[in-house]
Structure 1
């Protein structure tokens, strides 16, 4: 006769990083999610799972889009600390959405390159108000001012 398996006392380990994400958020009015878990000194919301650190925004992006984010993740909803998956954008979706907005309001630029010759297809980005800028030129300006 076999002996029954005893379960360990304490919390059951999470089955996935997404499960940990949902356990560390709470809904806020307007479809936002507030992060209730750990944040580092810079305020970056983090989850440790399977020996690795994951940012809450990258997890939220994967939940919403079913793919790994490209580049930096951020929200454009205006609520500081929001981690709602529907509000998170990566570099690619942010550029696409802002380019569409710029086109709608007549600010898109047909130029193939910036004034310094950086290819627009690779370096053009858009501010929240739809104005285009060159990512390479901005990086150069930031290095010289530091």
Structure 2
């Protein structure tokens, strides 16, 4: 009889572990898209076509155009297209358009409370070490 209780207890623990494992996997896969997507520069011609498609209520076409212009996956492109439709204006990339300087981009990230991202940006684009990049970012006002 004791063996039966032990077997039932082991099965109950295994079922509970399986349920917890499945719920943690589903919460990881339902992650919100990266915040950096909204800062992704998009070619000005592609952005014009995306706005036209959204204006004509052709969201699927707008998502396809965004994927072609940026190389994003379907979920990220859908998220960004929905943000654009809701009024978000991504930075434009194109011939003759002035790109913000490294200092301006790092300053913008810092103002958003994303200092670690700003330090990483400076480090990646300049080759500075972490201490130097952090000093540079913290000197921006």
TM-score bucket of the superposed structures, by smaller chain: under 0.3
**What TM-score do you get using the length of structure 1 for normalisation?**
0.27
Larger strand share, 1 or 2: 1
Compare CA radii of gyration and give the structure with the larger one. 2
**What TM-score do you get using the length of structure 2 for normalisation?**
0.28
Query: Greater relative contact order (Cα 8 A, min sep 6): structure 1 or 2?
Result: 2
Larger helix share, 1 or 2: 2
